Chains A and B, each alone.
Chain A
Amino acid sequence: MTLFRRMLIEEYRMHTELFGERRFAVFPLFTALLVGVGVYLLELTGTEMDLVVAGLFVLVFFMGLQVGTIGLVGRDAMRNVLGDLTLLVFSARTLPISQRRLLSTFLVKDLVYYAVFFLTPIVVGFVPLVVAGELTVAEIGLLWLTIAGMFALGAGASLSLAGIATRNLPALLVVVAAIVAGAVLAPEVALSLTPYALYADPGVATAATGALALVVVLVAGPLLFEPPAEGGVRRIDNDHYHRLRALGGGFTARPLLEVYRSSGSLWKVAFSLGVLFAVAALLLDRIVAAMNIDPSAGIAFGTLLGLGTFTTYNWVTQNDDQREYLRYPETMAAVFEGKLRAFLLLSIPTGLLYLALGGVLFPRPELALGVVVFPLLSVYVFGLTAFLTGLSPNELLFDTALFALYGAALMVVAVPLLVAALAFDEWALPAAAIAVGVSLVAAAIGWLLVGRTGPRWEQRLRTEG
């Protein structure tokens, strides 16, 4: 219990130290407000609440996957993301506590911590629906319980998959392939094994089947996981650095190599955008079925993939200590120009591949609009993210004011584009013109912001306390 309590305090202090106590304290309130407003607006547009809740379950599952991974990536990777810190979970070498126990406690701590600070505010955001008579109090309670379960399923799945990976990599591929095949071929069965089943159809039977996968991953994860042994010494006998330098110098080659050589390699770029692509495809499919309109797949894919490139920005800056660049006789503007080239070289081909895949799922000529919207929006996302967060996009997490500003700036562009996507069925030409126009303006703003980012951050880093 002492270990659990200490880890909980450690997590809280880490967040308040990183983002400031007051800003962090406001974050749950902001989350509740954001969800509340979102739910209200969706309600106004006549969107089915079942669809919204199903989307929430997907989101929470991915959040769990992400949180479950971060404790397992090792001290060096944590340092790259969060700076120089030492966590209790890494203290197996100095304390008489097994790595397995440390890890299990760490996982439970994460579940409790995130349930309090994130999942509860999300559920609070749904409370207005009780007032509107859409949901009952009992359903709100069930929603909290089942999304907490879904989050735990994501975190436990991460741990289990990492556990399998540490023992046998081919086995990991087999398990992942089996899960994906199950989800695609028999989605109803797959869903019945998750906590979502209990929410969708409350009962003893669904409670039992819905808890099955959760119990398996929570037991298997800590049992399977072996702390990674010290990796071997990796020698590089190729001239990738020279070749990549030809694409725009050292400030471009370096982030490209860092993304390629760090955990997950280029797959992490594809995976991050793939999640956005899957969400867009799912929404398009459901909107067609539920609302009897046929939105523009090109604008919808282009918009969501474009907005999703903030993940690519995260990858190209993941290994940066921004103060390092102040040691060189180069401006920060040159650094950001290099990052922009690396960002575009990674995000544009990946996004275009997904758009091509979108063409297979939704074979229509208007998909070409996505080819216009996506790259233009990517430039906007780069400019905005770089301008607001510099080379530390993780600052967005938990910094309420910055997060709100960033969210608002994305919404300003996303809303007209998504409205244009929905209106395309009725007014194809004006909708297409609006989508292209908004994207062009956004790209111009993004470009302007890129130009201002270097001087802004140079000044900020030199004067910060």
Chain B
Amino acid sequence: MTAIQTQNLTKVYGDVRALNGLDLTVEEGELYGLLGPNGSGKTTTIEILTGQRTPTEGTASVLGTDPVAHPVEVRRPVGILPEREDPPSFLTPREYLEFVGEVRDVADVEERIETWSAKLEFQGVLDTLSTDLSEGERQRVMLAQVFLHEPDLVFIDEPLVNLDPLMQATVKTHLREYCEAGNTLFLSTHFMEVAEELCTRVGIIANGRLVAERDPRTLEEDLLETFAAEVERSAMAEVGHS
């Protein structure tokens, strides 16, 4: 079954073409990594797929739902972790997760909060104001809110940011187990090691286009080749325009 599909997905911000005809297919159970440099269109892709933005052109389907036509519905079975987002400053992690549980109709939210705070090791700060937490603790709370409602598909932008090496290992193990249980993970990163180590398939995005899809085991050598070709293609296109 296909979890995510896009066709000719394009997003233009003023003069900037953030996405330029992105064609992408992710099957259920995959741990798919979207790898690319800053500004290549990774965040915009996630925002469109989760109904947070509308594309300028193209179509998308997420677990059989059109995120453009049904933005609220598409968010129900998915978990979302944007890059650089913290829990609300003046709520405790427990209160924030209860808030998320309410919004996402989670019945046994207190039990799940205990489970996730234990798994991601933040039980000690469950009742501390979020503004007083460390960056790493905030990231762990944000990861917990992603999985609280047991989503079928998760979108994560830079999952390991601000985490210490031990917690990184814990999170990686959890993400693998999550996909082994038949769920799908769409991960966006600009760290090659993260994509290489975690993903079952890696798409390389540059200038808003999917330029290649690779097996993570041969990623490093392929990547240099792919980017060199993309730089050359962009340069030729520039010459053609002028």
Contact = CB atoms under 8 A, between A and B. Distances in A.
Given A241-B95, A327-B75, A329-B76, A319 B132 contact: no
Contact of A330 (B14, B50, B103, B127): B103
Contacts of A458: 71
B62 to A, nearest CB: 13
A250 B102 CA distance: 7
Nearest to B68: A462
Given A241-B95, A324-B85, A465-B14, A329 B52 contact: no
A463 B88 contact: no
Contacts of B50: 326-327
A105 to B, nearest CB: 28
B91 A254 contact: yes
A257 B103 contact: no
B60 interface: no
Nearest to A232: B132
A235 interface: yes
B21 interface: no
A93 interface: no
Given A241-B95, A327-B52, A235 B127 contact: yes
B102 A326 contact: no
Interface string B77-94: 000101011001111100
A338 to B, nearest CB: 10
Given A234-B129, A462-B54, A329 B72 contact: yes
Interface residues of B, number: 33
A258 B54 contact: no
Contact of A241 (B13, B53, B84, B91): B91
Contact of A250 (B13, B73, B99, B132): B99
A323 interface: yes
Interface in A299-334: 319, 321, 323-324, 326-331
A329 B75 contact: yes
B54 A463 contact: yes
A319 B96 CA distance: 14
A327 B80 contact: yes
B104 A328 contact: yes
A257 B102 contact: no
A462 B51 contact: yes
B128 interface: yes
A234 B95 CA distance: 14
B103 A329 contact: yes
A201 interface: no
Contacts of B13: 465
B131 A257 contact: no
Contacts of B54: 462-463
Contacts of A132: none
Contact of A319 (B51, B85, B89, B103): B89
Contacts of B80: 327
A132 B52 CA distance: 56
Interface in A206-264: 231-237, 241-242, 245, 249-250, 253-254, 257-258, 261-262
B98 interface: yes
Given A257-B95, A262-B90, A463-B53, A328 B132 contact: no
Nearest to B67: A462
The interface centre, meaning the residue of B54, B90, B98, B128 with most chain A CB atoms within 10 A of its CB, is: B90
A458 B132 CA distance: 31
Interface residues of A, number: 36
Given A258-B90, A327-B52, A463-B53, A76 B72 contact: no
Nearest to B89: A319
A91 interface: no
Contacts of A47: none
Contacts of A234: 128-129, 132
B131 A76 contact: yes
A136 interface: no
B146 to A, nearest CB: 10
A66 interface: no
Question: Which among A329, A330, A461 has the highest number of chain B CB atoms within 10 Å?
Answer: A329
Interface string B203-218: 0000000000000000
A322 B79 CA distance: 18
Given A76-B89, A462-B52, A462-B71, A261 B103 contact: no
Interface in B97-125: 98-100, 102-104
A237 B94 CA distance: 11
In this complex, the member of B84, B95, B104 whose beta carbon has the largest number of chain A beta carbons within 10 angstroms is: B95
B95 to A, nearest CB: 4
Nearest to B16: A465
Contacts of B84: 84
Given A234-B128, A241-B95, A331 B88 contact: no
B99 A254 contact: yes
A328 B103 CA distance: 7
B129 A261 contact: yes
B90 A250 contact: no
Contacts of B52: 323, 326-327, 461-462
A73 to B, nearest CB: 13
A458 B54 CA distance: 11
A258 B92 CA distance: 11
Nearest to B72: A329
Interface in B128-180: 128-129, 131-132
B21 to A, nearest CB: 19
Nearest to A249: B102
Given A234-B132, A319-B89, A241 B98 contact: yes
Contact of A237 (B53, B91, B104, B127): B127
Contacts of A237: 127
A465 B99 CA distance: 29
Given A235-B129, A458-B71, A462-B51, 11 more contacts: A234-B129, A235-B92, A237-B127, A241-B95, A241-B98, A253-B99, A257-B91, A323-B52, A326-B71, A461-B52, A465-B14
Interface of A: 76, 80, 84, 231-237, 241-242, 245, 249-250, 253-254, 257-258, 261-262, 319, 321, 323-324, 326-331, 458, 461-463, 465
Query: What 4 pairs across the A-B complex have the smallest Cβ distances?
Result: A465-B13, A329-B75, A261-B90, A250-B99
5 contacts: A236-B129, A257-B90, A327-B52, A327-B75, A465-B14
